[in-house]
Amino acid sequence: MILKVQKASKYTLALTGTPWRSDSLPISLSSYSNPEGKIICDYQYTLKQAITDRVCRKPKLVLVDNEQLQYVSPEESKYYSSIQALFKEQKISYSSILQDTDALVHILKLSASKLLSIRASNQDAGGLIVASSVAHARQIQTILNEQLKQPSVMVSYHDPDAQKIIEQFKKDHSPWIISIGMISEGTDIPRLQVCCHLSNVRTELYFRQVLGRILRITDSNNQEAWLYTLAEENLVKFAEEIEQDIPDSCLYIKQPGDKEEEDAHSLETSSPHTVRIFSKLGDFKWNNSDTSVQVGNENSVPYGSFTLGRFRERVIEAFVGI
């Protein structure tokens, strides 16, 4: 239908901040080069230009990793030097690490410390945490409120008053808002300057939408923008490619037999995502603590266990020359 309207129109104006889809399908009203599959834009206002024009902030991305990860089972005992190395052998799921208390405490401490330092010169600065589920968000809120003594509000796509909560947070001085299926795209809260990407959704589109929440320039003296996430393979790649306006991984791949009428797909939005996570049965521990996360169902028998050593962080500072 959209394509038919476009053909009947003399002019069409299509605007987007993320000109690609994570499923490699085309965006409605867009044209693509053949055979490369790159979107053809008549005009681009890039993030680099926006930073130069002082419309957007320069982001810093912190990738949290862990070294000397040990996997122990009845069959083997093996060490890994990074989270990526552990995931490659599918010994553990990304979801399991996201839900681990010690991992959350570490990354939230880093984020809270950074937000506190920014609020020392800009008391209106706020932080966004993107959680993977309502239960996950409650776990995060408990850590913030009880262990880190950081007030927070929670907003979910399940909440009928979600927009009111967002608007209230936008106007007040509260430090943290925890989001489930909200705020990733299309929501303007300029005072956000720190973000934790703790969602199961690991696509280039979603990553950039989340990052975009902390890039809006305000009239404050402090214009830092910090995003914290785990050093998972896809997220590392997205962080390293942040200076590319249209990443090479985001080309439209035309499938054999595609018809033009079937290509009418709209942009992805911040509606709830469903992600399948594969994991073997097991549990793991961070920093030799006594808390652990059971992977599997309530009646399962642990397959193995993990002991994770020291945390380390890698900081990527984009657009340094501007």
Contacts of 118 (CB under 8 A, 6+ apart): 125, 193, 194, 222, 224
Q: Quick check: 267 pLDDT over 60?
A: no
Same domain, 31 and 131: no
Same domain, 29 and 89: no
- Read off the tokens for 288: 């030799």
> Domain tally for the chain?
2
Same domain, 12 and 138: no
In a domain, 322, yes or no: no
CA distance to 40, 258, 260, per residue, from 3 (Å): 16, 14, 8
Q: Which residue has the higher pLDDT, 286 or 275?
A: 286
* Cα gap 75→114, rounded to integer Å: 43
Structural domain boundaries, residue 233: 56-249+304-317
Same domain, 210 and 87: yes
Q: What is the pTM of this model?
A: 0.78
Same domain, 157 and 235: yes
What mean pLDDT value characterizes the chain? 78
Same domain, 32 and 124: no
Same domain, 36 and 66: no
Pairing mode of beta strands 59-66, 311-317: antiparallel
* Cα gap 138→145, rounded to integer Å: 10
Chain segment 145-165, per-residue pLDDT in tens: 999 999 999 999 888 999 999
Q: Quick check: 265 pLDDT over 50?
A: no
Strand ranges for the chain from DSSP E:
31-32, 39-40, 59-66, 69-72, 77-80, 126-130, 152-156, 176-180, 192-197, 225-230, 282-286, 293-295, 305-308, 311-317
Using only C-alpha atoms, the chain has a radius of gyration, in whole angstroms, of 21
264-280 average pLDDT score: 28
Same domain, 38 and 88: no
Q: ∠ at Cα 87 (86, 89), nearest 5°?
A: 75
CATH of residue 90: 3.40.50.300
Same domain, 92 and 181: yes
In a domain, 136, yes or no: yes
In a domain, 257, yes or no: no
In a domain, 105, yes or no: yes
In a domain, 93, yes or no: yes
Same domain, 9 and 129: no
Chain segment 196-233, per-residue pLDDT in tens: 999 999 998 899 999 999 999 999 999 999 999 999 99
Same domain, 31 and 171: no
183-208 average pLDDT score: 88
In a domain, 231, yes or no: yes
Judge contact between 153 and 177, C-beta under 8 A. yes
Confidence of residue 255 (pLDDT cuts 50, 70, 90): very low
Q: Which residue has the higher pLDDT, 236 or 188?
A: 236
In percent, the amount of the chain with pLDDT more than 90 equals 46
Confidence of residue 185 (pLDDT cuts 50, 70, 90): low
* Cα gap 316→93, rounded to integer Å: 25
Same domain, 25 and 166: no
Which of 37-41, 43-47, 67-71, 110-114 has the least mean pLDDT? 37-41
SS3 at position 63 = strand
